[in-house]
């Protein structure tokens, strides 16, 4: 019983802290509902060292998580290369279509801040050079 309760609480926490969903369209719809912006980024989670550093030094920090929970919907279009990290066929297709539309240069990471209508407000064509605090200030 305690294990089931712990598992449910863990899953709820993981779902709510980042508000990550599996389509950009859903991300924008949630952002509109919750009056938030969308932080949409392309990554190569198992081969792109700047992507891994961006995730570790920005996305996974407690300061960023706290900010994101109140202000952002996160959407990551990931392009892993290792077979063990492959995404579902549906997610791969979604990410490839998004890359055609938003990332024709094939930049990794590419980070986009979108408004509630999907309009690009700001673009980083590489990992941010700003400090975490400066990056968060730009997201506001």
Domain ranges of the chain: 19-139
Distance CA 78, CA 91 (A): 9
Q: What is the pLDDT of residues 56-102, one digit of tens each?
A: 999 999 999 999 999 999 999 999 999 999 999 999 999 999 999 99
Pairing of strands 110-114, 72-78: unpaired
- Tokens 């998580």 belong to residue: 65
Distance CA 7, CA 20 (A): 19
- Tokens 């932080």 belong to residue: 39
Looking at residue 40, its pLDDT comes to 98
Q: Give 19-139's CATH code, choosing from 3.30.450.40, 3.20.20.70, 3.40.30.10, 3.40.50.11720.
A: 3.40.30.10
CB 17 within 8 A of CB 65: yes
User: If you average pLDDT over residues 1-30, what whole number do you get?
Assistant: 59
Q: What is the pLDDT of residues 109-129, one digit of tens each?
A: 999 999 999 999 999 999 999
């Amino acid at each position: 019983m305690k294990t089931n309760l712990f598992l449910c609480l863990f899953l709820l926490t993981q779902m709510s802290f980042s508000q990550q969903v599996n389509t950009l369209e859903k991300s924008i719809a949630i952002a509109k509902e919750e009056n938030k912006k969308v932080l949409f980024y392309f990554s190569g989670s198992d081969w792109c060292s700047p992507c891994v550093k961006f995730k570790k030094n920005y996305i996974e920090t407690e300061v960023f998580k706290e900010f994101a929970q109140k202000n952002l919907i996160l959407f990551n279009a990931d392009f892993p290369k290792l077979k063990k990290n492959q995404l579902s066929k549906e997610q791969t297709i979604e990410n490839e279509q998004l890359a055609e539309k938003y990332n024709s240069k094939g930049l990794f990471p590419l980070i986009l801040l979108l408004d509630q209508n999907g309009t690009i407000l700001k673009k980083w064509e590489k990992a941010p050079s700003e400090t975490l605090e400066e990056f968060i200030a730009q997201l506001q």
